[in-house]
Chains A and B, each alone.
Chain A
Amino acid sequence: MSDTRQFCTFRVQGFFFGVDVRRVQEVLRNQEMTRVPLAPPIVRGLINLRGQIVTAIDLRRRLALPDGAAERLPMNVIVRSDDGAVSLLVDEIGEVLTVANDASEAPPDTLNDVGRELIAGVFKLPGSLLLVLDTDKAIAPATGWRAGALAPTGRGPTHENPKLNKEED
C-alpha cells in the first residue's frame, strides 16, 4: 500500500526515532570502534564492517543530547549513503514499524534548531510519538561540524535539550 511507510525504529535518550527502512542496510550490536583524534565530535570512531570501514556517528551528539552512560554500549544502525555506509549510534534498537501516512504531522514549531533541522516529521502512534529522522541531514558532514560547534562545551555536548524533553512528557 502506498499510503503506509515502514520505519526502522530505535531509541536515543528516551526518544523514539525512525528512519526509512529502505535506507537501512543492517542493524548491529555494539562493535569495536577505533577513535579518530581531531575528528568532529559527532564522529565516535571507525568500525570494520566485513572489510569495509564505516564511520560511526553518535546520534546523541548529533542531536545535541547529553552523552550516554559510558558502560552502556551503543548499537549500530548502518544506513546507506552516497559516500558508502555510515553507522548511527543509538541506545536501543526497536522493531520495524509500518505506519499509515495519515498519522503523520509536520514537526512542531517549538523544536529547537537541531531538532527542526533533523526531524522530518512526527507520527502519532498509540502511546508514543515516532520522530522521523532525516537521514541525509543526520549524516551530512557539514552540518555535523555545525552541530558540534553549537554545543556549549564545543567538544562532547552535554547540555539538556528542554524542548525535546518537554515533548516527551
Chain B
Amino acid sequence: MSGSAADEMDELVKEFLVESHENLDRLDRELLTLEQNPASRDSLASIFRTIHTIKGTCGFLGFSKLEAVAHAGESLLSRLRDGALTFSAPIATALLRTVDAIREMLAEVEQKGSDGDHDYAALVVLLQQLQGEESGGKENDAAPVPRLDLPAPPVLSAPPVLAAPPVLAADVIPHPPDLADGRTPGVSDGYVRVDVGLLDRLMNLVGELVLARNQVLQFVPTVEDHAFTGTTQRLNLITTELQSSVMKTRMQPIGNVWDKTPRIVRDLALALGKRVRVEMEGKETELDKTIIEAIKDPLTHIVRNCVDHGVEPPEARTARGKPAEGRLFLRAFHEGGQVNIEISDDGAGLNLDRIRSKALERGLITGEQAGRMGDRELAELVFLPGFSTAEKVSNVSGRGVGMDVVKTNIERIGGVVDLTTRPGHGTTFRIKIPLTLAIIPALIVSSGGDRYAIPQVSLLELVRLHGTQVRAGIESVHGAAVCRLRGTLLPLVDLNRELGLDEGANAAALAKREAINIVVLQADNRRFGLVVDDINDTEEIVVKSLGKHLKGVPAFAGATIMGDGRVALILDVLGLALRAKVVGGASDRTAPRAGAGSDGAGVHRTTLLLFTLASGRRMAVPLSMLARLEVFDTTQVEPMADGHVVQYRGDVLPLVDIEGLLQMGRGMWKGADRAAEQVHVLVHGTGQRPVGLVVRRIVDIIDQSVDLRMNRGESREPGIRGCVIIEGRVTELLDLDALMRAAGARLSMPGETTSPAVEART
C-alpha cells in the first residue's frame, strides 16, 4: 500500500483489502477447478461464500459499485448452486471477469479510497443474462437467505480456506506455511502478518552481523583467552543459525507465482481456440522472495509463448496423432544449491527454418553464420533482442517485449536460461537460478595486492602447479596460455592482465614462474582457469551492489566487506570469461551483440588448434570444441565392423576420418596406412557420444582473430567454415558441429545396441 491515501486509510478498509486480495486469488483457482469439475459442490459453495463476503463487506463500507458487481456475480452463483443452471465455459469466463472487475475496483480503493469511476454495467447485464429468464426476480432475494441450503457439512468440516496456503497480496508476506508435517494449520494460530520491509531490514541487519562476526573471528588466533574463544564460537554458531532462519522467512514456494498460471493459460487458450492442460510438479520448491519477484515476469512470458507459439490448435494436434488437449508442464526442484525450473509444452517445437530466415531478414546473423549454425544455436536465437517470429502481432505476444528480456532478467539475478526443442514434440525451457542473492559462499583470492571474491557456484576446483609442473603443465604459443589438466586442455586467463593491473604474464612468462595458482571456473558451460596470485580462503559473503559508476564494468558482480572491514570486489565470472573471450565468439553467443566493438560480424578472437590431415590438408578448429587431445599406440587400435575403435575410459571411442566425413563417405577411419606407431586423436563431444578425429599431426595452438569474411570458396564442402591464412599458410576452418550433424547417422556404431565393450572384443 503506497501513497498518502494509504496512510489515512481506515484500518477497516485496509483489512478488507488484504483479506479480499487473498480471497480473489483463491477464487481464480477455484473457478478453474470448477470448470474442470463442474459437479464440485464444495468449490461452488466456497466461491459463493467468498463473493458473498466481499459483497457484504463492501456494502457495509459504502462501495456501491463494487457491491453491485459482486451482487450480480453472487446471484449467478446462487442459481448454479441451486442446480438451476449448469456450469459452462461462458459462465466461467463471466465469473472470472467478475473477479477481475472486483480486483480492479479494489486497486482503485487502495489508491484513491473509492471504487473508481469505471463502468461495469455491461458486466452486470451479462451476469444477469446468464442467470436466465427470471433473473429479475431472483436477483432481489439472492442475498444471504439461500445460504441456508448450502451443503453445509463439507464447508464447515473442511473449509478450503484453511487448507490452501495463503496467496499473498502484493505487500504482505506470511510466515511460510509449514506443511511438511502434514498438519493443517488453523487460520489464526500459526501465522503472523509481517511487513516485507521489516524482513528486508532484518536481512540487512543479519548481513551486518555476519560481517561483524567475521571480523571478530579474525581476532581469535591473536587472543589467548579461553572464555573469549568459547564466546566467539557461540557467537559464530548463533549467527549462522540466525542467518539461515532469517533467510527462511524470506522464502516463498514457487507455487505462489505458478498459481496464476492456470488462469493465464486458460484465458489465452480460449482466446486462441486451443485446449491446454497445466500440470505442475514441485510447487512447494522455495525461493528467496526477491528472486520470486524477479522471475515472475519471465515465467509468465515463457508460459504465454508456449501456449501461443508452442501448442498447436486441436485439429492440428489430432491430425498429428496427439491428444487434442495440449500439455504445459511446470516443474521445479532444488539441485546443488540452485533452483531448476522447467517449462515445457508438447507442441510443435520451434520452427528452426523460420527462425533462421527471420534472423537473416532482421540482420541479426549473417548468411555465413546461418549456414553453420546447429539446431541448438538456432533455437537460442530467440533470445536475441529484436527477435520475434510471430507473423502477426497478437495481444499475446509479438509486442516487442521478447525473449531477450526474459534472458536478461534471469541473467541479472545470476541465473541461466536455455531451451531445447524437438520438432513435433515440443519445447522445454530450463532456468537455473540461485536460491538467494543476499549471502553466498565465495572463494577469496588475491591478485595485484587486492582481494577478490569468486562465487562458489562457478568454482570447479583449485590447481596449484609448482616447479617442474609449471613448465610441463603450461603450454602454448602466441600468448594464449593453456594448461593440460588431466589430459584436458584448459584455457588460462590471467586475472591481473584481465583487470589491467599489470601487463600480465603470457604463456612463456607463466611457465617461468615458481608456482601458479589456478582457479578452475565454469561459465556458460565452458571451463577456464583463472590465474591468481594467491588463494586465500572460502567465506560467506554479503553481496552488495555497486553504485551507478561501476554498473558498466563487466568484470564485477558486486562488492562485499571483508572481515577486516575492507571492501573486496566480487568477480562476475561470466563477464570475465566474455571479456577474456573464453566464452563468446562463434560457438557460444551465436550472433554478435550490438555494440560489440571490434568484434564485427564474422570476426572472432578464438584459440585455435592447428593440425594436418593424412593428405597434408592444414586445418584449424576452435580449441573449445575439443574435449581432449590423445595419442594412442597403433597397437591399441582395434578393428571393428567397418572401422576402427580404441578403448577409451572404459568405453569405445570410434575413430573417424575427417576427410572421409567431408566427402560424405562413411567416415570411419580405415586405419594407419603407413607403419606409424602412434595415432593422434582429437576427442570431440564430452557427453554421451565422444568421437575421435584422427589427424596426422598437431601443429600448434594459436590465439587470433579469425576473419571469416576472408572465405572465398563458394562451392565449399559442408563442414568447412572457410579458409583463412594462419601463419602464412592456407588453413581450412573445420566446422565440427556441422560436420558431426552431417555425419549423424553415418557415424552410428555397430556396437550401439549391445554392450560396446563386449562388442569391441569380439
A53 touching B450, Cβ below 8 Å: no
> A141 to B548, alpha carbons, bound, how many Å?
6
Interface flags, A39-51, vs B, CB<8A=1, else 0? 1101101111001
Interface: B500 (CB within 8 A): yes
Contacts of B567 in A (CB 8 A): 33-34, 45-48, 53
Contact among B546, B549, B556 with A40 in the assembled complex (CB-CB below 8 Å): B549
A55 touching B568, Cβ below 8 Å: no
Task: Name A86's closest neighbour in chain B (CB-CB).
Answer: B547
B549 touching A53, Cβ below 8 Å: no
Given A48-B566, A51-B211, A53-B567, A38–B500 Cβ distance below 8 Å?
A: yes
A55 touching B565, Cβ below 8 Å: no
Task: Name A51's closest neighbour in chain B (CB-CB).
Answer: B208
A43 touching B550, Cβ below 8 Å: yes
Contact among A35, A52, A55 with B450 in the assembled complex (CB-CB below 8 Å): A35
Task: Name A140's closest neighbour in chain B (CB-CB).
Answer: B548
Given A39-B550, A55-B546, A46–B559 Cβ distance below 8 Å?
A: yes
B566 touching A34, Cβ below 8 Å: yes
Nearest-neighbour CB distance to chain A for B549, whole angstroms, equals: 5
Given A53-B544, A53-B559, A32–B565 Cβ distance below 8 Å?
A: yes
Nearest-neighbour CB distance to chain B for A109, whole angstroms, equals: 30
| Residues of B in contact with A, size category | 20 to 34
Task: Name B556's closest neighbour in chain A (CB-CB).
Answer: A36
Interface flags, B546-565, vs A, CB<8A=1, else 0? 11111111111001010001
> A46 to B547, alpha carbons, bound, how many Å?
10
Interface flags, A69-90, vs B, CB<8A=1, else 0? 0000000000000011010000
Contacts of B556 in A (CB 8 A): 36
Task: Name A47's closest neighbour in chain B (CB-CB).
Answer: B567
Nearest-neighbour CB distance to chain B for A86, whole angstroms, equals: 7
Interface flags, A51-62, vs B, CB<8A=1, else 0? 111110100000
Contacts of B207 in A (CB 8 A): 51
A55 touching B549, Cβ below 8 Å: yes
Contact among A36, A45, A86 with B553 in the assembled complex (CB-CB below 8 Å): A36
A39 touching B549, Cβ below 8 Å: yes
Task: Name B558's closest neighbour in chain A (CB-CB).
Answer: A53
A38 touching B547, Cβ below 8 Å: no
Residue from A47, A51, A57, A141 with most neighbouring chain B CB atoms (10 Å): A51
Interface: A162 (CB within 8 A): no
Contacts of B566 in A (CB 8 A): 32, 34, 48
Interface: A37 (CB within 8 A): yes
Interface: B194 (CB within 8 A): no
Interface: A144 (CB within 8 A): yes
Interface: B440 (CB within 8 A): no
> A84 to B546, alpha carbons, bound, how many Å?
10
Contacts of B548 in A (CB 8 A): 55, 83, 141
Contacts of A32 in B (CB 8 A): 565-566
Nearest-neighbour CB distance to chain A for B719, whole angstroms, equals: 39
> A51 to B315, alpha carbons, bound, how many Å?
62
Contacts of A84 in B (CB 8 A): 547
Contacts of A42 in B (CB 8 A): 549
Nearest-neighbour CB distance to chain A for B447, whole angstroms, equals: 9
Task: Name A46's closest neighbour in chain B (CB-CB).
Answer: B567
Contacts of B448 in A (CB 8 A): 37
Nearest-neighbour CB distance to chain B for A129, whole angstroms, equals: 29
Nearest-neighbour CB distance to chain A for B688, whole angstroms, equals: 40
Interface: B94 (CB within 8 A): no
Contacts of B500 in A (CB 8 A): 37-38
B501 touching A37, Cβ below 8 Å: yes
Residue from B211, B549, B559 with most neighbouring chain A CB atoms (10 Å): B549
Contacts of B474 in A (CB 8 A): none
Interface: B637 (CB within 8 A): no
A53 touching B561, Cβ below 8 Å: yes
Contacts of B551 in A (CB 8 A): 141
Chain B, 543-599, CB within 8 A of any chain A CB = 544, 546-556, 559, 561, 565-569
Task: Name B208's closest neighbour in chain A (CB-CB).
Answer: A51
Residue from B211, B499, B547, B565 with most neighbouring chain A CB atoms (10 Å): B547
Given A34-B450, A36-B556, A38-B500, A48–B561 Cβ distance below 8 Å?
A: yes
Interface flags, B189-202, vs A, CB<8A=1, else 0? 00000000000000
Interface flags, A126-165, vs B, CB<8A=1, else 0? 0000000000000001001000000000000000000000
> A53 to B569, alpha carbons, bound, how many Å?
11
> A141 to B546, alpha carbons, bound, how many Å?
12
Contacts of B553 in A (CB 8 A): 36, 38-39
Nearest-neighbour CB distance to chain B for A146, whole angstroms, equals: 13
Can you name 6 A-B pairs with beta carbons within 8 Å? Answer: A34-B559, A34-B569, A36-B553, A38-B553, A51-B208, A55-B547
Q: Which 10 pairs from chain A and chain B are nearest by CB? A: A37-B499, A34-B567, A55-B547, A46-B567, A141-B548, A141-B549, A83-B548, A53-B544, A51-B208, A53-B559
Q: A32-B565, A46-B559 known; 19 other A-B pairs, CB under 8 Å?
A: A33-B567, A34-B567, A34-B568, A35-B450, A36-B550, A37-B500, A38-B499, A38-B554, A39-B550, A42-B549, A48-B566, A53-B547, A53-B567, A54-B547, A55-B548, A83-B547, A86-B547, A141-B549, A141-B552
- Chain B contacts to A: CB under 8 angstroms: 207-208, 211, 448, 450, 499-501, 544, 546-556, 559, 561, 565-569
